[in-house]
């Protein structure tokens, strides 16, 4: 006889097992795999040119992340401030690299300049103009734009430039996330266990950013586990399946897909909060990548909009003001 577990039983079962709660990004593969996926999705796609542009941008991100790893470390005073912030966050079970309010250094602007220099030569004139505008922008204005991007605030935001600014910030935060020592990552793992029922479960435990999508992994160590994927630092954290990743409700969860489309990507909707977020199934397609496949499945967004659901969070490489 087949036994069906309700969500509470699934959660209790998951807590009894040794579930890896946190996956920090792999700097060697993060942006390279994303670029490969975006390039594959661009073939024959209605937004193929944009996906191909984002693939080129991800290639540049891969190079800049490797370059950041070779930069000299922070000064003694900066290192002390970094450690103080981490200790304060650990004390209160808060994200250790909290994006909002983090004291960014100039390296993220250097990354931005390099990304633009890499992408512009082969890009359309409209993109080259955006890159020229960013190259000539005052640093203080760039910092204001970065604040808008991290706060997801459209007031005063240069929407055309936002994907490039976010791309630079992604490199900057992914570098910090991958630089966390093992003691901090172990504490983050423990904090996820302690906070599994708290509202903080809906944001990245590393940087406090909303997830762009979730993915049910098929690789041996994580097989069958669902992880939310951060749109900024690309860390992933465990959340049981059949649970809203926005309001954490366990009832009224539905799954939607485009007729004739890939079974590897669906929209997980919640009747409690009327939001949805994409969920990917690696066993259906081993190549799925959260940010890339979310960006490449806008037909699913149109379906969900027609059914009057709203996205729980936007895609960090596509900036469109809400119609609400």
Residue-level pLDDT at 264: 96
Domain residue extents for the chain: 1-24+201-324, 26-70+104-178
- Residues 61, 31: contact at Cβ < 8 Å? yes
Taking the complete model, does pTM exceed 0.85, yes or no? Answer: yes
- Among 9, 66, 54, 26, smallest CA distance to 222 is for 26
Q: Which DSSP helix (H) or strand (E) runs through 182?
A: helix 182-194
Read off the pLDDT of residues 146-194 as tens digits, 9 standing for 90 and up. 999 999 999 999 999 999 999 999 999 999 998 886 656 666 666 666 5
CATH of 26-70+104-178, one of 3.40.50.2000, 3.50.50.60, 3.90.1670.10, 1.10.3720.10: 3.90.1670.10
Contacts of 201 (CB under 8 A, 6+ apart): 192, 195, 237, 239, 248
Question: Do 1-24+201-324 and 26-70+104-178 fold alike per CATH?
Answer: yes
Read off the pLDDT of residues 54-98 as tens digits, 9 standing for 90 and up. 999 999 999 999 999 887 665 555 567 677 777 777 777 788 899
Poorest-pLDDT segment among 183-187, 234-238, 284-288: 183-187
Residue-level pLDDT at 13: 42
Residue-level pLDDT at 159: 95
Topology of domain 1-24+201-324 in CATH is FdhE-like fold (3.90.1670)
Q: Which two tokens stand for residue 156?
A: 């005063």
């Amino acid at each position: 006889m087949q036994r069906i577990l309700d969500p509470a039983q699934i959660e209790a079962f998951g807590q009894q097992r040794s579930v890896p709660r946190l996956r920090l990004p792999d700097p060697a593969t993060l942006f390279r795999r994303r670029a490969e996926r975006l390039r594959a999705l661009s073939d024959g796609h209605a937004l193929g040119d944009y996906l191909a542009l984002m693939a080129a941008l991800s290639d540049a991100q891969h190079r800049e992340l490797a370059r950041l790893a070779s930069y000299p470390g922070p000064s003694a005073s900066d290192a002390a401030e970094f450690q103080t912030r981490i200790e304060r966050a650990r004390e209160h079970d808060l994200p250790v690299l909290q994006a909002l309010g983090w004291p960014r250094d100039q390296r993220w602007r250097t990354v931005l300049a390099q990304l633009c220099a890499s992408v512009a030569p082969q890009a359309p004139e409209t993109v080259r103009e955006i890159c020229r505008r960013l190259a000539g922008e005052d640093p203080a204005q760039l910092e204001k734009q970065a604040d808008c991007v991290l706060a997801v605030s459209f007031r005063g935001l240069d929407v055309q430039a936002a994907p490039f600014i976010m791309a630079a910030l992604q490199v900057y935060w992914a570098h910090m996330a991958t630089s966390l020592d093992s003691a901090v990552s172990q504490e983050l793992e423990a904090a996820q266990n302690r906070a599994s029922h708290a509202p903080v479960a809906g944001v990245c435990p590393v940087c406090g950013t909303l997830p762009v999508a979730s993915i049910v992994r098929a690789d041996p160590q994580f097989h069958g586990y669902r992880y939310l994927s951060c749109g900024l630092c690309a860390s992933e954290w465990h959340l049981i399946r059949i649970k809203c990743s926005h309001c954490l409700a366990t009832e009224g969860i539905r799954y939607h897909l485009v007729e004739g489309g890939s079974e590897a990507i669906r929209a997980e909707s919640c009747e409690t909060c009327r939001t949805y977020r994409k969920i990917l199934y690696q066993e259906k397609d081993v190549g799925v990548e959260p940010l890339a496949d979310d960006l490449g499945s806008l037909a699913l967004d149109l379906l969900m909009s027609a059914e009057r659901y709203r996205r729980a969070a936007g895609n960090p490489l596509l900036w469109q003001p809400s119609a609400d």
